[in-house]
Amino acid sequence: MENKSICVTENALDEILIEDIFDNKGNILIAKNAIMNKYSVELLSRLNIKEIYVYPSKEESRLSKNNNFPLIYKENILAMQKIARRLAAGKGVAPDDLGEMSKILSIEINKNSKMIGHTGRIKDTDEYTYNHSVNVAIYSVYIGRLLGLDDGRLRELCQAALLHDIGKAKVPKDILNKKGKLTKEEFSIVKKHTIDGYVLSKGMSFLTEEVREAILCHHEREDGSGYPYGIKGRKINLYAKILAITDVYDALTSERAYKKKSTPFDAIEEFYNMGINKFSRPILNIFLKNISQLYVNSKVILNDGRVGKIEFIPPKDLTFPIINIHGEYIDLSTNPSLKIIGIVE
Ligand SMILES: [Fe+2]
């Protein structure tokens, strides 16, 4: 379908960009999927960019005569924004919100009776693992959609995400929730959850082998440093590559008994520190670039106690957003002593 073109100065606010916008030097100025606000509208106006292309709403897509529907509507991204902010603020996700973001997600979590039987068992043994699995499914389906996966593949990806840690049911609880560092022996017991998960998944006839393999390989890393087998990128399937990223992202940004949660910006930094060679580079780039944009317009707390709103996240430097505090724009890249310590939603 035709992308919706709109005039920057008239009605761009709250629209979502369907393509990157470049400056005259060829650098990305505003990233695709960014939500337009006053700051970005001003930025475009200053550069004399008058027209942008944005996502149509679901209704607009439906009315289009051309059947080439986009996989993502404006509503999907807005719903994901709401969910991502709630998760970053340490609040749970309302099941009703999932449908707006993705019908597939909502069905697999709330309605697929085969899945509910198994995820329910995860919930009974460990609440954290259950919530984590739902979050990983949310992030995975979001990224899967950005990668252009069709509905059948998205459903499989969602199942792999919901069941990826099912093998943890066999890990003793005192090891699973241990506060300090795990001993070598304990870690080798934890590592077994991948193989145990695969064995359990063999008993679920509705899963495809690719889903089972993703459960087995979600801790494998591109450079061969993962487990259980230490296989490298070429041998790791697409679902497992996605899970590797979304699993780590949710673990970093969630609170546990033994650790505080990181902000999304610290988590992005952490991915760079861990070495981007561990993850599929193109998938990681797409994920971080897009997930970060969802926090535009979020309320944040800085380490000096001030509360502000994220106005803009430079595509070239995702860890240094521009914050609006009472009308004053503060660029974190030029204020090294300032840091975001929490998202309020
Ligand atoms: Fe795991």
CA distance 80 to 98: 8
Q: How far is the CA of 175 from the centre of ligand 1 (A)?
A: 14
Closest CA to 297 of 62, 5, 88, 53: 88
Compute the distance from residue 243 Cα to the ligand 1 centre, in Å.
9
> Is residue 162 assigned to a domain?
yes
Of 3 and 272, more confident: 272
* Residue 23's CATH number: 3.90.105.10
How many helices and strands (H and E) does the chain possess? 16, 9
Q: Is residue 322 part of a domain?
A: yes
If asked whether residues 102 and 204 sit together in one domain, one would say: yes
pLDDT in tens, 180-195: 889 999 999 999 999 9
Q: Is the pLDDT of residue 1 over 50?
A: no
Residue with tokens 């996502």: 55
Quick check: is 335 in a domain? Answer: yes
35 and 143 together in one domain: no
- Residue 69, in any domain of the structure: no
Amino acid symbol at 18: I
- CA 86 / ligand 1 centre spacing (Å): 23
- Tell whether the model's pLDDT for residue 222 goes beyond 70: yes
CA of 189 to the centre of ligand 1 (A): 12
Does residue 338 share a domain with residue 276? no
From the CA of 44, how far away is ligand 1's center (Å)? 43
Examine the fold and report which residue of 293, 312, 333 is the final residue of a domain before the chain moves on.
293
What is the spatial distance between Cα 30 and Cα 21, in angstroms, rounded to a whole number? Answer: 5
Residues 124, 260 within the same domain: yes
Cα 313 to ligand 1 centre (Å): 31
pLDDT digits (tens, 9 = 90+) for 285-342: 999 999 999 999 999 999 999 999 999 999 888 999 999 999 999 999 999 999 999 9
Residues 41 and 88 in one domain: no
Mean pLDDT across 114-137? 92
Going from the Cα of 64 to the center of ligand 1, the distance in angstroms, rounded, reads 43
Range of the domain at 336: 299-343
Q: pLDDT at residue 269 above 50?
A: yes
Q: How far is the CA of 216 from the centre of ligand 1 (A)?
A: 9
Same domain, 84 and 47: no
- The rounded mean pLDDT for the chain is 91
Find the 164 Cα to ligand 1 centroid distance in Å: 6
CATH number, position 135: 1.10.3210.10
Q: Looking at residues 166-184, what average pLDDT do you find?
A: 91
For ligand 1, the distance from its centroid to the CA atom of residue 247, given in whole angstroms, is 7
Instruction: For residues 135 and 244, state if they share a domain.
Output: yes
pLDDT of residue 277: 93
Contacts of 266 (CB under 8 A, 6+ apart): 252
Q: How many angstroms is it from 97 CA to the middle of ligand 1?
A: 26
Is residue 2's pLDDT more than 80?
Answer: no
Closest CA to 163 of 202, 112, 119: 119
For residue 256, tell me if it sits in a domain. Answer: yes
Using a 10 angstrom Cβ sphere, with 0-12 exposed, 13-18 middle and 19 or more buried, the burial of residue 183 is exposed
Q: What is the tally of structural domains in the chain?
A: 3
Residues 40 and 142 in one domain: no
Q: Is 177 contained in some domain?
A: yes
Q: How many CB atoms lie within 10 A of CB 24?
A: 9
Same domain, 237 and 128: yes
